[in-house]
Amino acid sequence: MTTRHVSGRRAIAAVFGLLLVLLGLFATATPALADEDDPYRISGNVQLDGEPLEGVVLTVDGPGGEQEVETDENGQWHVNVPERGETYVVTLDEETLPEGIAVVDAEDDTPNVKEVEVGQGGRVSVNFFIGEGERNVTSFFDQLVQRVIQGISFGLMLALAAIGLSLVFGTTGISNFAHGEMVTFGAIAAYLLVGPATVALPWWLGYPIAVVLSALFGLFLDVILWRPLRRRRVGVVQLMIVSIGLSLALRYTFQLFIGGGTLQLPGSSEAKIPLFGAVQMSVIDLVSLAISIVVIVAFALWLTRSRTGKATRAISDNAPLAAASGIDVDHVVRVVWIVAGGLAGLAGILYAYYRPGIKWDMGAQILLLMFAAVVLGGLGTAYGALIGALIVGILVEVSSLWIPADLKYASALFILIVILLFRPQGILGRRERIG
């Protein structure tokens, strides 16, 4: 082994060791989580003139994602939430109130929406003033436009992760089920660097470092695991099984260090601002959208204009022929793992703001959506992964207008099945090529 290779491995090990030290420091600083038998809770009553209203739908949005609940026969409702000391938005769906009845509050422009904070006691009650009045109704068209915009934002974020997954499959044939954990790794690394309980770097410095660490994590996995297996000519089925085992090992390692709660990146509870019509987005949402577009455009230029990008496409077409023509296949595959790790890490940071929050299994929650995007666009094609991710993102958001929020991810997988029945090769249908 050459001195350069030894030095490179020592540098990678040093960086990874540093991150493990940071994880250890963070684990000692993380506060104890609530007991599962005594969860943090938001609750309330919905009554009209002292009479309970049954079947009224409320939505609670905040750390841990969006939850939907209905009032029982006593007009009572409650949801369990993962964090205290955090702000949650409670929205009462006025369409589920009796005819001619609305939420009334002369001092509030949106009386059916309330922001509450779960205090140190872990409990908070939310009550709405119900009476005769004019409802604050958002038209179906305005809701549809809002969901489409959110779907595009989610789809672009999902595309960052799906493109890396497609790159790896196109050049190595590996269906990497541990790619979701690479997404989680990026979010955790970002929190360790900018979180108030750890290093507390400014975000403009901490987030780029987190993306670099994610890229090095991809290289680390290739050096210690995937390249030795490739040299032993292990079959793709065996590689897939190894990736499933790696996924489980990494996932529960993350849980060991950060626990089962939800962590928040700085600014995750920013208020939304009106853009046009009923469309509202926070500043972070707009920045995430812009970052996704810029990075995807830069990646497309790299893939089509750079020498390494062209070599990546050649290897995807025919790896033995590319090697015979003088392309260093090992070097290109190594670069692919670095790019895939960096894109996954960036997607993890953006997804932590989209959810909002960081959890030990957050990457696994969208793993099937990433695979759906790759298969829908066409196996092995990066541009297909982009198109597939946009379709999946829009379907996930728009479908929540008709189905419960808990089932919105299933709608994208259902559409995937329908499309593949008519076009099994995917939308672009170029399995043999990346880009």
**In this predicted model, which residue has the larger pLDDT, 421 or 33?**
421
What tens digit of pLDDT does each residue of 112-133 get?
888 888 877 788 888 888 876 5
Distance of alpha carbon 35 from alpha carbon 65, whole angstroms: 20
Q: Are 147 and 400 in contact (CB under 8 A)?
A: yes
Q: Is the pLDDT of residue 141 over 90?
A: no
At 138 the pLDDT is 64
Q: Are 26 and 200 in contact (CB under 8 A)?
A: no
Q: Is the pLDDT of residue 412 over 80?
A: no
Q: Are 414 and 364 in contact (CB under 8 A)?
A: no
Q: Is the pLDDT of residue 156 over 90?
A: yes
At 37 the pLDDT is 45
Q: Is the pLDDT of residue 187 over 80?
A: yes
> Taking residues 398-426, what's their average pLDDT?
78
> Of the given ranges (21-25, 49-53, 140-144, 162-166), which has the lowest mean pLDDT?
21-25
**In this predicted model, which residue has the larger pLDDT, 227 or 20?**
227
At 406 the pLDDT is 67
Q: Is the pLDDT of residue 92 over 80?
A: yes
Q: Is the pLDDT of residue 384 over 60?
A: yes
Predicted TM-score of the model (pTM): 0.76
For 34, 65, 184, 193, 380, the CA distances from 362, given in Å and listed in that order, are: 19, 11, 6, 19, 25
At 113 the pLDDT is 85
- Residue 61 pLDDT level (bands cut at 50, 70, 90): confident
Distance of alpha carbon 162 from alpha carbon 394, whole angstroms: 15
> Taking residues 281-306, what's their average pLDDT?
92
> Of the given ranges (66-75, 176-185, 284-293), which has the lowest mean pLDDT?
66-75
Q: Is the pLDDT of residue 169 over 60?
A: yes
At 6 the pLDDT is 46
- Torsion angle defined by CA atoms of residues 248, 249, 253 and 254, in that order, rounded to the nearest 10 degrees: -40
At 326 the pLDDT is 84
Q: Is the pLDDT of residue 212 over 90?
A: yes
At 198 the pLDDT is 79
**64-68, 102-106, 330-334, 400-404 — which one is most confidently predicted on average?**
330-334
> Taking residues 82-95, what's their average pLDDT?
84
Q: Is the pLDDT of residue 2 over 90?
A: no
- At 359, the amino acid letter reads K
Cβ neighbours of residue 431 closer than 8 Å, sequence gap 6 or more: 378, 379, 380, 381, 425
> Taking residues 354-380, what's their average pLDDT?
88
- Residue 107 pLDDT level (bands cut at 50, 70, 90): low
Residue from 211, 181, 203 nearest 265 by CA: 203
Average pLDDT of the chain, as a whole number: 83
> Of the given ranges (293-297, 328-332, 427-431), which has the lowest mean pLDDT?
427-431
Q: Are 350 and 337 in contact (CB under 8 A)?
A: no
> Taking residues 235-260, what's their average pLDDT?
93
**In this predicted model, which residue has the larger pLDDT, 354 or 37?**
354
At 34 the pLDDT is 41
- Residue 363 pLDDT level (bands cut at 50, 70, 90): very high
Distance of alpha carbon 408 from alpha carbon 270, whole angstroms: 24
Q: Is the pLDDT of residue 353 over 50?
A: yes
Q: What percent of the chain has pLDDT over 70?
A: 86
At 32 the pLDDT is 39
**25-39, 47-61, 91-105 — which one is most confidently predicted on average?**
47-61
At 85 the pLDDT is 76
What tens digit of pLDDT does each residue of 216-225 get?
999 999 999 9
> Of the given ranges (49-58, 178-187, 237-246), which has the lowest mean pLDDT?
49-58
**86-95, 204-213, 393-402 — which one is most confidently predicted on average?**
204-213
Q: Are 394 and 155 in contact (CB under 8 A)?
A: yes
Distance of alpha carbon 247 from alpha carbon 365, whole angstroms: 12
Q: Is the pLDDT of residue 28 over 50?
A: no
For 67, 154, 268, 355, the CA distances from 395, given in Å and listed in that order, are: 19, 10, 24, 17
